[in-house]
C-alpha cells in the first residue's frame, strides 16, 4: 500500500481529528492571510507616500536663532549636490513686489483700501517644477513651461491672474519695489518679466476676505533665480545673495533619504547652529506615522499568530502522535521506514491544509476589505480632523487637506501575498509534524511496539 | 536450508545484566516452533531480535545464510519476516482488507476468506470485529506478505480457549499449507502440543 493511500485513509476515516485540524488550520491561515494582506497594503501605502511626499529634504537658515552665521548660498548648494544620490535641487527666495499694472485677486487690503492690495508674493525658484506646490501636485502647469535653471526674468502666473489681466504666455509685465514692500525707501526700478507659463491653482487655500492679497495662492508669482538675484541685489546689495528660503534637495531613491541626510549632516564646515535641515516634512510624517503604526501592529500580529499557531499545532499534533506510536511500530515491523511514516503524517496534514487554505482564502477575501477599512478608520484616518499647517519648502503654508486625497486604502489579497502565506503555512506544518514526530524518531521499532503493552 | 539461524546471541538492556546469554537456535520452513518460558525470561526480546526490530549485543542472526545487517533490517522486515501480536495491532483506520493490503500488492480478500472471514467482515471497521477475527486478519496480513518467517508473540493470549485453538490451527496450517517457518512465543501448553519443535527458554538466574 502506498504512503499516499495510507494518508488518504487516515484523513478520511479519522473524521473528528480531520475536522478539528481543518478548523484550526482554517482559522490560522485566515488570520495569517489577512494579517499579511493588511501588512502589505500598509507597506505599499507608505512606500507610495514616501515616493510622493518624502523624497526630499530642505536646508534653510534657522530664523529662530538670534544670529545666523551661515546662509544657504550657491556654494553650499553645490557642496550638497556633490553627495551621491541627490538628483536635483530647487533654491528658494521670497520677495514682495508691487505689481502696479496687474489686478490681483482681491482680499483684505482691497477691502481696507490699502495700497498693499497691489503687493504680490514672488517666489524665486531654480526649477519651479520642483516647488512644493507643483511637486505635491497642488498646482499644475496649464500652459507654457516651467522655470528652469538659466532662465532670466521669467515668470509663472496663475490662471486667475492671467485671465483677469488678459495675459498670455509670451506677454510681459513689470513689478517694482515700493515703500510697502520690503524696506525699500525709494521706489526701485521696474523689473520686467516674460510670462513663460500659466499654472492652474486647482487647489485653493482656505482663503476669505480677510486674507491679505499676497497670501492668496492665486496671487503667487513664480520667478527664476536670476530675477530673484537681481531683486536681492537691489534690496540688500550684492554681498547678500544667499537663498533666503533655503534650498530643497531631491534624492534619487526616497528609501535612502535617511542615509543621505546623515551624509549631509556630516559635511564639514556646516554650521548647524545657523542652518536647519528638515527631512520628511510634517505632511509626510503625519501621513506616515499611522501607516507605520498599522504596519508594525500587523507585523506583530502576524508574528504572534504564527507563534501561537505553531505552539498550538505542535501540541495538538504531539498529543495525536503519542496515540500513533504503536501504529508506527506496526508499520515499521513490516519494513516501512520512519521517513516514509513521517512523510505520511506530513501528507495527512497537507491534505487537510489545502482545503483549509482555500477556505481561508475565500474567508479572508471577503473579510479583509472590511477589516482593513475598519483598521484604517481606527488608526490612520483618526487624524482626519487635524488642521495642521505645513510650512513647506518655500515657507508657504500648505494645508494638509489637499494631501489627504490619498488613493483609497484598499486591502487586497495579492497573489504573492497568498503564496507567501501558503508557504509559511506549509513550513509551519512541516515544523510541527517534524517536532511531533520526534516522539517516534528517537525510539527503536521494538520500543514503539512495546511502549503501551 | 535453515530459514533462520541464531548464533551465540547475547542481549542486555543494561550492561552486566544479560537477558539472553549465548543463544543458539535454528529454524526451518514448513515447521511450527513454540518458545516456552517463564514470564520475563526474554521471549519477546528474542522475538524482536529474530524480527530485526533490534540487534543483538553479541552474536549473529542469519536469514537464509546472510546476516540481517548485511540484508538491511528494514529490507529484512519488509521481505523476510512478518509479525503477529498478542493484541493484534491492526491499523484502526483501515478495514481488514486494507490491513492485509499493507503488506501485499496482491488482492487481499482471498486470504481473508481462506482464514474464515466473510466478505462483509472484510470491509468492516477492524475494531468492530471479535478478538478471534482480528487475530485472523493479523495472520492474513502476515501470510499475504509472502515472508518466509512468521513471528507470533502470545497470539492466543487474549483469546478464549476455543478461539485460541482455532488460531493455533491456523498458525499450524501456515507452516504446513503455506510452507512458512512459524515461530510462536506462548505460555500455553495447548499451543505447545501442536508444535513441531518446542524450545524452552530459561530465566537467567542472577
Ligand atoms: N525496554 C526494556 N528496558 C529494560 N529492561 C527490559 C525492557 N524490556 C524488557 N526488559 C526486561 O528484560 C527481560 C525480558 O523481557 P521480555 O523479553 O519482555 O520477557 P518475556 O517476553 O519473556 O516475558 C525482563 O526482565 C524485562 O524486565
Ligand atoms: Mg513477552
- CA–CA distance, A165 with A171 (Å, rounded to integer): 11
Structure confidence at residue A402 (pLDDT) = 43
Structure confidence at residue B148 (pLDDT) = 94
Q: Tell me the pTM.
A: 0.70
The four Cα atoms A183, A184, A185, A191 give a dihedral, to 10 degrees, of -170
Structure confidence at residue B97 (pLDDT) = 94
The torsion region of residue B146 among left (phi > 0), alpha (psi -120 to 50) and beta comes to left
Residues composing chain A: 453
* B19 Cα to chain A: minimum distance (Å): 15
Same-domain check for residues A251 and A358: no
Residues 6+ apart with CB under 8 A from A187: A176, A177, A178, A179
- CA–CA distance, A348 with A190 (Å, rounded to integer): 87
B98 in contact with A, Cβ within 8 Å: yes
- Which of A258, A280, A302 lies at the terminal end of a domain, its last residue? A280
**CA distance to A54, A98, A213, A233, per residue, from A184 (Å):** 38, 11, 19, 12
Instruction: Answer whether A246's CB lies under 8 Å from A61's CB.
Output: yes
Q: What phi and psi values does residue A376 have, to the nearest 5 degrees?
A: -65, -45
- CA–CA distance, A174 with A155 (Å, rounded to integer): 10
The tens digit of pLDDT for each residue in A68-114 reads 778 888 888 998 999 888 989 999 988 888 888 888 888 888 888 88
How many Cβ atoms sit within 10 Å of the Cβ of residue A38? 26
Instruction: Answer whether A8's CB lies under 8 Å from B93's CB.
Output: no
Print the domain residue range for A216: 55-280
Beta carbons of B53 and A446 less than 8 Å apart: yes
Structure confidence at residue A401 (pLDDT) = 47
Same-domain check for residues A294 and A434: yes
Same-domain check for residues A291 and A276: no
Structure confidence at residue A388 (pLDDT) = 40
Same-domain check for residues A30 and A82: no
- CA–CA distance, A259 with A280 (Å, rounded to integer): 13
CATH topology of domain B29-55+73-200: Rossmann fold (3.40.50)
Distance B59 CA to ligand 1 centre (A): 19
Q: Using CB atoms within 10 Å of the CB of residue A445, give its burial: 0 to 12 exposed, 13 to 18 middle, 19+ buried.
A: buried
Q: In a structure prediction context, what are the per-residue pLDDT tens digits for chain B, which is 206 residues long?
A: 789 999 999 999 998 889 999 999 999 999 999 999 888 889 999 999 999 999 999 999 999 989 999 999 999 999 999 999 988 999 999 999 999 999 888 888 999 998 889 999 999 999 999 999 999 999 999 999 889 999 999 999 889 999 999 999 999 999 999 999 999 999 888 899 999 999 998 877 65
Element (H, E) at B53: none
- CA–CA distance, B101 with B106 (Å, rounded to integer): 7
Q: How many domains does chain A have?
A: 2
ipTM of the modeled complex: 0.93
How many Cβ atoms sit within 10 Å of the Cβ of residue B2? 15
Same-domain check for residues A350 and A390: yes
- Which of A260, A280, A300 lies at the terminal end of a domain, its last residue? A280
Same-domain check for residues A340 and A248: no
Same-domain check for residues A210 and A254: yes
Beta carbons of A445 and B53 less than 8 Å apart: yes
Residues with CB under 6 A from ligand 1: B 13, 19, 37, 39-45
Q: Is the dihedral of CA B152, B153, B156, B158 positive or negative?
A: negative
Beta carbons of B94 and A9 less than 8 Å apart: yes
Which positions of chain A have pLDDT values less than 50?
Answer: 382-395, 399-408, 453
- Which of A249, A280, A311 lies at the terminal end of a domain, its last residue? A280
Same-domain check for residues A350 and A254: no
Same-domain check for residues A71 and A208: yes
Same-domain check for residues A148 and A23: no
Closest Cα in chain A to B102: A1
* B49 Cα to chain A: minimum distance (Å): 9
Same-domain check for residues A23 and A122: no
Instruction: Answer whether A179's CB lies under 8 Å from A250's CB.
Output: no
Beta carbons of A335 and B93 less than 8 Å apart: no
Same-domain check for residues A401 and A425: yes
Structure confidence at residue A238 (pLDDT) = 67
Domain range list for chain B: 29-55+73-200
Amino acid at each position: 500500500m502506498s504512503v499516499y493511500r495510507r494518508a488518504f485513509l487516515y484523513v478520511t476515516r479519522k473524521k473528528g481529528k480531520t475536522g478539528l485540524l481543518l478548523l484550526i488550520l482554517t482559522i490560522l491561515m485566515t488570520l495569517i492571510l489577512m494579517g499579511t494582506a493588511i501588512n502589505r497594503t500598509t507597506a505599499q501605502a507608505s512606500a507610495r507616500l514616501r515616493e510622493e511626499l518624502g523624497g526630499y529634504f530642505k536646508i534653510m537658515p534657522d530664523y529662530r536663532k538670534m544670529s545666523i552665521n551661515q546662509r544657504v548660498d550657491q556654494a553650499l548648494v553645490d557642496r550638497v549636490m556633490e553627495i551621491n544620490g541627490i538628483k536635483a535641487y530647487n533654491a528658494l527666495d521670497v520677495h514682495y513686489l508691487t505689481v502696479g499694472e496687474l489686478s490681483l485677486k482681491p482680499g483684505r487690503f482691497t477691502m481696507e483700501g490699502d495700497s498693499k492690495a497691489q503687493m504680490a508674493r514672488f517666489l524665486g525658484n531654480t526649477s519651479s517644477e520642483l516647488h512644493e506646490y507643483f511637486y505635491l501636485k497642488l498646482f499644475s502647469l496649464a500652459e507654457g513651461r516651467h522655470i528652469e535653471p538659466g532662465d532670466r526674468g521669467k515668470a509663472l502666473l496663475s490662471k486667475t491672474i492671467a485671465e483677469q489681466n488678459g495675459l498670455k504666455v509670451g506677454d510681459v509685465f513689470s513689478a517694482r519695489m515700493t515703500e510697502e514692500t520690503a524696506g525699500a525707501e525709494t521706489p526701485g526700478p521696474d523689473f520686467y518679466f516674460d510670462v513663460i507659463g500659466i499654472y492652474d491653482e486647482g487647489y485653493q487655500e482656505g482663503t476669505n476676505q480677510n486674507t491679505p492679497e499676497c497670501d492668496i495662492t492665486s496671487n503667487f508669482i513664480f520667478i527664476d533665480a536670476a530675477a530673484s538675484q537681481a531683486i536681492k541685489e537691489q534690496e540688500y546689495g550684492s554681498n547678500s545673495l544667499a537663498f533666503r528660503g533655503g534650498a530643497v534637495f531631491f534624492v534619487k531613491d526616497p528609501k535612502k533619504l535617511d542615509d543621505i541626510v546623515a551624509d549631509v549632516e556630516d559635511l564639514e564646515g556646516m554650521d548647524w547652529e545657523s542652518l536647519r535641515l528638515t527631512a520628511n516634512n510634517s505632511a509626510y510624517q503625519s501621513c506616515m506615522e499611522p501607516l507605520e503604526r498599522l504596519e508594525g501592529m500587523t507585523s506583530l500580529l502576524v508574528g504572534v499568530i504564527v507563534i501561537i499557531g505553531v505552539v498550538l499545532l505542535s501540541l495538538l499534533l504531539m498529543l495525536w502522535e503519542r496515540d500513533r506510536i504503536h501504529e508506527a511500530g506496526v508499520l515499521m515491523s513490516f519494513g516501512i521506514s520512519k521517513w516514509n511514516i513521517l512523510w505520511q503524517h506530513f501528507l495527512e496534514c497537507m491534505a487537510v491544509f489545502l482545503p483549509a487554505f482555500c477556505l481561508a482564502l475565500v474567508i479572508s477575501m471577503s473579510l479583509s476589505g472590511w477589516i482593513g477599512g475598519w483598521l484604517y478608520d481606527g488608526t490612520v484616518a483618526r487624524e482626519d480632523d487635524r488642521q495642521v499647517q505645513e510650512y513647506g519648502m518655500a515657507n508657504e503654508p500648505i494645508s494638509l487637506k489637499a494631501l489627504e486625497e490619498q488613493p483609497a486604502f484598499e486591502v487586497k489579497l495579492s497573489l504573492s501575498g497568498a503564496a507567501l502565506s501558503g508557504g509559511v503555512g506549509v513550513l509551519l506544518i512541516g515544523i510541527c509534524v517534524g517536532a511531533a514526530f520526534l516522539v517516534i524518531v528517537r525510539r527503536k521499532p521494538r520500543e514503539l511496539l512495546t511502549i503501551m503493552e | 536450508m535453515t530459514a533462520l539461524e541464531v548464533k551465540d546471541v547475547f542481549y542486555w538492556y543494561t550492561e552486566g545484566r544479560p537477558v539472553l546469554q549465548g543463544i543458539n537456535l535454528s529454524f526451518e520452513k514448513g515447521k511450527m516452533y513454540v518458545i516456552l518460558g517463564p514470564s520475563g525470561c526474554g521471549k519477546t526480546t528474542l522475538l524482536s531480535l529474530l524480527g530485526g526490530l533490534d540487534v543483538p549485543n553479541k552474536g549473529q542472526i542469519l536469514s537464509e545464510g546472510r546476516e540481517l545487517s548485511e540484508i538491511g533490517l528494514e529490507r529484512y522486515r519488509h521481505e523476510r519476516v512478518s509479525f503477529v501480536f498478542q493484541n493484534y495491532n491492526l491499523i484502526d483506520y483501515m478495514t481488514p482488507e486494507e490491513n492485509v493490503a499493507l503488506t501485499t500488492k496482491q488482492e487481499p480478500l482471498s486470504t481473508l476468506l481462506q482464514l474464515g472471514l466473510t466478505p462483509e467482515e472484510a470491509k468492516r471497521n477492524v475494531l468492530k470485529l471479535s478478538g478471534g477475527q482480528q487475530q485472523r486478519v493479523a495472520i492474513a496480513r502476515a501470510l499475504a506478505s509472502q515472508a518466509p518467517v512468521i513471528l507470533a508473540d502470545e497470539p492466543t493470549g487474549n483469546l478464549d480457549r476455543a478461539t485460541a485453538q482455532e488460531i493455533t490451527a491456523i498458525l499450524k496450517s501456515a507452516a504446513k499449507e503455506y510452507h512458512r517457518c512459524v515461530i510462536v512465543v506462548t505460555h500455553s501448553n495447548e499451543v505447545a502440543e501442536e508444535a513441531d519443535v518446542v524450545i524452552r527458554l530459561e530465566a537467567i538466574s542472577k
